[in-house]
Amino acid sequence: MNPKCKVVSSNRLRTGLAICLALAVLAGPASPSRAATNDLFARGLELSRAGQFPEAAAAFGTLARTQPSAGTLVNLGLAEWQRGRAGAAILAWEQARWIDPFDPRAGSNLKFARQVAQVDEPQLKWFEAVSACLPPNAWVWLTGAMLWLGVGLLVLPGIFRRRMAGWHQFLAALAFGIFLFSLTANFGVVSRTEIGFVLKKNASLRLTPTQNGEIVSTLAAGEPARQLRTRGHYLFIRTLGGAGWVEQNEFGLLCP
Amino acid sequence: MIAMDCAQPLAPRQNLTKVFRFPIFFGLRPSAFGFILLLLKPFLASAQAPPQLPPGGLMQLQVPQPSVDLSSPVSAVAAFDPPSVHVGEKTYYRVTIDATESSIQWPDAISAPAGLEFGPKISGQITQMLMNQFRPHASFVYEVKPRAEGHFTVAPFRVDVSGTPVDIPAASLDVVPPSDRTAAARQLRLEISQTNVFLGQPFRARVILPGGPNNEIEALREIEFRGDGLMVDKIVLQQAIEPLNLDGQLKMALVSEMTVTPIAAGPLKFAAQGFAAGREFTAPISIHGQVNFFGGMPRYVLLVSDPVEIHVRPLPVDGELPGFTGAIGRFFQDPPHLATNRVHVGEPVSLTVAFHGEGDLTRFVPPAARRSRDWQIIADPPPATGFTLIPLADDMRETPAIPFSYFDPDTARYEDLTIPPLPVTIVGEGLPVELPPLDNAGKTEAPLKLSAAAPAPGKTVSGLKPLQLRLWFAGVQLVPVLAFLALWQWDRRRRFLEAHPEIVRRAQARRALRREKRQLQAAVGAGDAVAFIHHAARAMTIAVAPHFPANPRALVCGDVLAQLAATGQNGPAADTVKSVFAAVDARFAVTPTRPPDWLALRPGVESVLQTLEEKL
């Protein structure tokens, strides 16, 4: 074997080991956290199986606050539903679908819950419906990638003194097209953050943000609404039936 | 459930449950009026916290009671007690009539003989059980102080009793010289535990009836306090016969102890009165020591005590804490206990709280149930101090805190004794997890049951807030912008250098010259004259190469000399250049000669290189 080749091979091996070590160091601190997450998740599952739904909901709720995941939120919704809190369950499943729009459990449970609770789905505008096709963060990465891909395809051949080929232009056009399309989806994502759900049964929708405010109507648990503004402990929301003020603890936003 | 006890200077800790047994004994043998009054007293005297009526108490009210003897002839007795005193000594003028007090039209003033000073009227009433009837006895007493010696007689007079005139016989008093022996007036003694109290602060009062001759002990009935601004709690009356040091003598005495609460601020003066009633003890009595009881039929004698004075301060307004119900003293709270820590919505759960204290707990008003949106709080009926809690929603994790505070008279401050919240799990009404299959199956897309639980967390994110709303993500977008800017700048620079190649050549020459100069210095340091000459010549050609431009290897001595200034071309610099190149060329001579000291050219070489570098 050529000695030069041996030296090159040795260098590559050393570099590979260094990269692996660096990755291990970077991944190391996350391991205890992941273990704790798994422990809490397992505990929540165990409590659910034992029928201790309030305790299970507390465990999944804690986990969902620290490290939201689709599975945790699905299970949180199940525990909340089992303890009779339809609003909180629907919110949890919507959040699970927010993280992973392709989660079959969340979608199925939402349909079931809305049929039982007789509440509607949130009315989405077309760009919001589009944004619901992918996870919210996927859209923003897609937008950034397409923008810079298009820019790169237009700029880099000139810089590197390559002739701009036809496929360069085609790809650039495609990238800019996807970029423009994803912009609307991103707007839909931001717009969907205003959507929330009524948590308590028969929550009062008031005319004014006061305790003694006139009650415009009562809202069913799980009813969707959009938060428009805040005043003190009250939120001004718009539901399918009208607008009014609800107490902050009676309404849960999709993205708190 | 209640666990109350109290510890006070005058009485050891006692259990309230014992106290509530008292009215049963208290109502066994009194006369009809007294019996009824005694049964009613717990209700009349306990407006703040009604004590519990003993079982069957109401039943006793419905049982026909013996009638009151109002038909027998009314008789009256009047006498001084003692009948013989010294000047200035106290004696009592006492009139007893066999009638109810309310039926007697007692005159506002009686004709007292000159030389006797009569005090204010003191009156009382007692009933005596005779056969199957109650016989009333009313007594009117005046404290009398003679101002002179002599024999005094209160003339007989007539009073109207239920429309019938009754003659009050004459009574005589002998005021004897100091040399004669007299008996002391028989009276009650009143002792109180505190003389400086706060408004509403209960204190203990002891009414002492000293034993008579031969230490004979008599019962004391119808004990009352004369004075305004006091509330006397006779429910917790404790009676004992014990030896006491009275006026320096150890004597047996009947001690009746009860709780008194001031209900008016300022200085309050009050005295005790009661009927000596032979053997008619009407309450449990603890006896310490050897006792002789009074024999024979009871003689109902209304006795009074000297007045005592207390100073009552109002409670401070500043610093009052929430939940103050009037409790004054020092109280402690056991950790509250919840019957269960798991309860359904709408299901009552019992919260037990036990208070202990060093103050009087008979009038202890437990914390009031506060209003809560999420809980219905029902206070247990007094004197119990627990609560019944009913959760109205299922999103609470703990019971509500129930504010309570008391006033500590020792520190004159309000102290917090709030019942703390307890962790509780509230279970809501369950929702269906499965729907019955529909006949028109297929018309609805909704599933018929909930999914199973997710076995793993699945896709995880750092937060639900999207990246679009996070500031750092906008910062990340600057990275490609900066990259493109850097590329653009690099391209501009490259184009500029392509347009100006002399800049590149000069830069390359400067780098090569610095390298050659380092090697030159190394050769000087090593004393290598050949290497020195070689690097010196190469450095000079490198320094002048960009001016032509040409490859340094292609340049010769003349090219270097051409780049020197006109003045330098014939000077020492030119000589140095020539010497260097001559030395270099000497390597190619057929007969090499011994090289001269080329290192001596070092100063000149450095000077030439500096000149050429400045020009570069």
Q: Answer whether A137 touches B (CB < 8 Å).
A: yes
Q: Measure in Å the smallest separation between the Cα of B450 and chain A Cα atoms.
A: 5
Q: Do A193 and B469 lie within an 8 Å CB cutoff?
A: yes
Task: Tell me the three state secondary structure of residue A179.
Answer: helix
The per-residue pLDDT for B594 is 63
The per-residue pLDDT for B245 is 85
Q: Do A70 and B466 lie within an 8 Å CB cutoff?
A: no
Which of B341, B395, B434, B464 would best serve as a mutation to test chain A binding (most A beta carbons within 10 A)? B464
Beginning with the edge strand found earlier in the chain, give each strand of the sheet holding B104-105 in spatial order: B104-105, B157-161, B164-168
CA distance B269 to B335: 41
**Residue indicated by tokens 């002492």:** B208
Evaluate if residue B199 carries a pLDDT over 70.
yes
Contacts of residue B446 in chain A, CB cutoff 8 Å?
111-112, 114-115
The per-residue pLDDT for B36 is 38
Which of B459, B462, B478, B495 would best serve as a mutation to test chain A binding (most A beta carbons within 10 A)? B459
Nearest residue in B to A89, CA atom: B431
Cβ atoms of B49 and B364 closer than 8 Å? yes
Write down the architecture of domain B5-65+186-313 according to CATH: Sandwich (2.60)
Write down the architecture of domain B324-427 according to CATH: Sandwich (2.60)
Q: Measure in Å the smallest separation between the Cα of B386 and chain A Cα atoms.
A: 26
Contacts of residue A80 in chain B, CB cutoff 8 Å?
none
**Residue B20, amino acid:** F
Q: Do B456 and A112 lie within an 8 Å CB cutoff?
A: no
Looking at chain A, the whole-number percentage of residues with pLDDT higher than 90 is 40
The per-residue pLDDT for B432 is 81
Contacts of residue B468 in chain A, CB cutoff 8 Å?
136, 139-140, 186, 189-190
Q: pLDDT band for B97, please (50, 70, 90 cuts).
A: very high
Q: Do A83 and B428 lie within an 8 Å CB cutoff?
A: yes
Which tokens hold the place of B504?
A: 């590149």
Contacts of residue A55 in chain B, CB cutoff 8 Å?
425
Q: Answer whether A235 touches B (CB < 8 Å).
A: no
CB nearest A75 (choices: B454, B463, B465): B454
Q: pLDDT band for A4, please (50, 70, 90 cuts).
A: very low
Q: pLDDT band for B592, please (50, 70, 90 cuts).
A: low
CA distance B40 to A165: 111
Domains B5-65+186-313 and B324-427 share a fold: yes
What count of Cα atoms within 13 Å lies in the side-chain half-sphere of residue B392? Answer: 9
Q: Each residue of A78-129: pLDDT tens digit?
A: 998 988 888 999 999 999 999 999 998 999 999 999 888 888 889 888 998 9
Q: How many CB atoms lie within 10 A of CB B208?
A: 21
> Across all residues in chain B, what is the average pLDDT?
82
Q: Each residue of B201-217: pLDDT tens digit?
A: 888 899 999 887 777 88
Task: Tell me the three state secondary structure of residue B456.
Answer: coil
**Residue B521, amino acid:** Q
Task: Tell me the three state secondary structure of residue A37.
Answer: helix
CB nearest A112 (choices: B449, B456, B465): B449
Higher pLDDT, B507 or B280: B507
Q: pLDDT band for B311, please (50, 70, 90 cuts).
A: very high
Which of A112, A119, A254 would best serve as a mutation to test chain B binding (most B beta carbons within 10 A)? A112
**Domain layout of chain B by residue ranges:** 5-65+186-313, 76-175, 324-427, 501-615
Contacts of residue B470 in chain A, CB cutoff 8 Å?
none
CA distance B349 to B377: 10
Contacts of residue A140 in chain B, CB cutoff 8 Å?
466-468, 473
Nearest residue in A to B452, CA atom: A105
The per-residue pLDDT for A3 is 46
Whole-number Cα distances in Å, A28 to A21, A34, A39, A184, A205: 10, 10, 18, 39, 49
Nearest to B491 by CA among B479, B483, B501, B503: B483
CA distance A198 to A194: 13
Q: Measure in Å the smallest separation between the Cα of B610 and chain A Cα atoms.
A: 40
- CATH number of the structural domain B76-175: 2.60.40.740
Q: Chain B neighbours among A 163-192 (CB < 8 Å)?
A: 186, 189-190
Q: Do B430 and A82 lie within an 8 Å CB cutoff?
A: yes
Q: Answer whether A83 touches B (CB < 8 Å).
A: yes
The per-residue pLDDT for B24 is 30
A-B contacts (CB, under 8 Å): 162
Q: Do B433 and A255 lie within an 8 Å CB cutoff?
A: no
Cβ atoms of B434 and B448 closer than 8 Å? yes
CB nearest B451 (choices: A63, A109, A144): A109
Q: Each residue of B484-499: pLDDT tens digit?
A: 899 999 999 999 999 9
Evaluate if residue B19 carries a pLDDT over 50.
no
CB nearest B491 (choices: A63, A159, A186): A159
Q: pLDDT band for A178, please (50, 70, 90 cuts).
A: very high
Nearest residue in A to B434, CA atom: A112
The per-residue pLDDT for A185 is 92
CA distance B571 to A175: 71
Q: pLDDT band for B135, please (50, 70, 90 cuts).
A: confident
Q: Which residues pair with B226 in a beta bridge?
A: B271
Q: Each residue of B34-82: pLDDT tens digit?
A: 343 344 444 433 334 445 555 666 666 676 777 888 888 888 999 998 8
Contacts of residue B454 in chain A, CB cutoff 8 Å?
70-72, 74-75, 105
Evaluate if residue B401 carries a pLDDT over 60.
yes
Contacts of residue A68 in chain B, CB cutoff 8 Å?
460-461, 463-464
What mean pLDDT is predicted for residues B218-235? Answer: 86
Contacts of B554 (CB under 8 A, 6+ apart): none
Q: Measure in Å the smallest separation between the Cα of A9 and chain B Cα atoms.
A: 32
Evaluate if residue A253 carries a pLDDT over 50.
yes
- ipTM value > 0.85: no
Which tokens hold the place of B257?
A: 């102890």
Could you tell me the pTM of the whole model? 0.54
Nearest residue in A to B458, CA atom: A71
Q: Each residue of B110-128: pLDDT tens digit?
A: 888 888 889 888 999 998 8
Q: Measure in Å the smallest separation between the Cα of B482 and chain A Cα atoms.
A: 12
Q: How many CB atoms lie within 10 A of CB B282?
A: 21
Q: pLDDT band for B344, please (50, 70, 90 cuts).
A: confident
Evaluate if residue B103 carries a pLDDT over 70.
yes
Q: Each residue of A198-241: pLDDT tens digit?
A: 998 888 899 999 888 898 898 888 999 999 999 999 999 999 88
CA distance A137 to A101: 12
The per-residue pLDDT for A95 is 92
Q: Do B425 and A70 lie within an 8 Å CB cutoff?
A: no
Q: Answer whether A71 touches B (CB < 8 Å).
A: yes
Which of B371, B443, B461 would best serve as a mutation to test chain A binding (most A beta carbons within 10 A)? B461
Q: Do B487 and A159 lie within an 8 Å CB cutoff?
A: yes
